[in-house]
């Protein structure tokens, strides 16, 4: 069975508008934190088949994450990156030296190297479970969110943070595009769907679609107000971008 397969738009639309899928198997899930860049890495696995994926691995925590994979007796199928990060170096390349069968995966629109380059609506399978690629550009041109097959969770990268969102002033970012991505994609998911972001800087771990639709101070604004807000953030230059971005375009190596 192929690790990644395209899904017809009609099928995808039917799935995304449907209720939570019944009959899927159990899920093993871990959220892990890297303190320097405040990045979350997610381990998601089918505990029956032991097939697993990592989402947004960080170079500095590769040993920790790989030990957990080994300790749990899992077979790591793939490392997924939500986008080409500017604030840390991906651990994908180093993980592939530890688990040679593991595939690196990123959106083709990111223009980064990887074993598999995703298109919108692609399905990534691991054991009896799967996760779907949701193109959500705006923070960068190549951002993707990943939605669990039963609508229980969405891994949003920097597109949607807890009570915030990623900046839009570099890597082909666009405030208007990000607003559309969140409102027409992520906010169309069931309100109970849990939001698992790539970062948090104050200790929050997760949110939900319902919470962010109601409480996100940026994305509850009108589109015009949102664009004005994002264009005037005055954020400093990302401190790791000059080293992280070139490395991440080469799978972190």
For the domain that residue 39 is a member of, what is the CATH number?
3.60.15.10
The residues that bridge with 221 in the sheet, in sequence order, are none
Candidates 214, 75, 87; CA nearest to 140 is 87
Q: What is the pLDDT of residue 23?
A: 62
Residue 132 has pLDDT above 70, yes or no: yes
Q: Is residue 180 part of a domain?
A: yes
Work out the average pLDDT over 81-101: 97
246 exposure class (CB count in 10 Å sphere: 0-12, 13-18, 19+): exposed
Overall number of domains in the chain: 1
Q: Average the pLDDT over each of 11-15, 154-158, 210-214 and give the range with the smallest value.
A: 11-15
pLDDT tier, 22 (very low <50, low <70, confident <90, very high otherwise): low
User: H/E/C letters for each residue in 118-160?
Assistant: ECCCEEEEECCEEEEEEECCCCCCCCEEEEECCCCEEEEECCC
Q: Is residue 148 part of a domain?
A: yes
Q: What is the pLDDT of residue 5?
A: 86
* C-alpha 14 chain-centroid distance: 22
Domain, as residue range, for 218? 4-233
Q: Is residue 251 part of a domain?
A: no
Q: Is residue 244 part of a domain?
A: no
Q: Is residue 246 part of a domain?
A: no
Residue 20 has pLDDT above 70, yes or no: no
pLDDT > 70 in the chain, percent:
96
Residues 149, 201: Cα–Cα separation, whole Å: 28
Q: What is the pLDDT of residue 12?
A: 72
Q: What is the pLDDT of residue 253?
A: 76
């Amino acid at each position: 069975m192929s690790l990644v397969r395209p899904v017809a738009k009609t099928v995808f639309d039917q799935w995304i508008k449907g209720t939570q899928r019944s009959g899927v198997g159990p899920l093993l899930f871990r959220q892990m934190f890297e303190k320097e860049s405040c990045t979350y890495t997610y381990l998601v696995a089918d505990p029956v088949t032991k097939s697993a994926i990592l989402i947004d691995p960080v170079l500095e925590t590769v040993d920790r994450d790989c030990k957990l994979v080994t300790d749990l007796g899992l077979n790591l199928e793939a490392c997924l990156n939500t986008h080409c990060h500017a604030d840390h170096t991906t651990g994908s390349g180093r993980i592939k030296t530890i688990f040679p069968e593991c595939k690196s995966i990123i959106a083709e629109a990111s223009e980064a190297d990887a074993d598999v380059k995703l298109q919108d609506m692609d399905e990534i399978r691991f054991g009896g479970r799967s996760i779907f690629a949701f193109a959500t550009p705006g923070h960068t041109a190549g951002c993707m969110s990943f939605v669990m097959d039963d609508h229980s969770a969405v891994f949003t990268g920097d597109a949607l943070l807890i009570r915030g969102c990623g900046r839009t002033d570099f890597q082909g970012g666009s405030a208007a595009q990000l607003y559309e991505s969140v409102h027409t994609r992520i906010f169309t998911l069931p309100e109970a769907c849990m939001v698992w972001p790539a970062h948090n800087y104050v200790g929050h771990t997760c949110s939900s679609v319902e919470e962010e639709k109601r409480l996100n101070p940026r994305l509850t604004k009108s589109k015009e107000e949102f664009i004005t807000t994002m264009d005037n953030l005055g954020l400093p230059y990302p401190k790791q971008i000059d080293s992280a971005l070139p490395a991440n375009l080469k799978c972190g190596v």
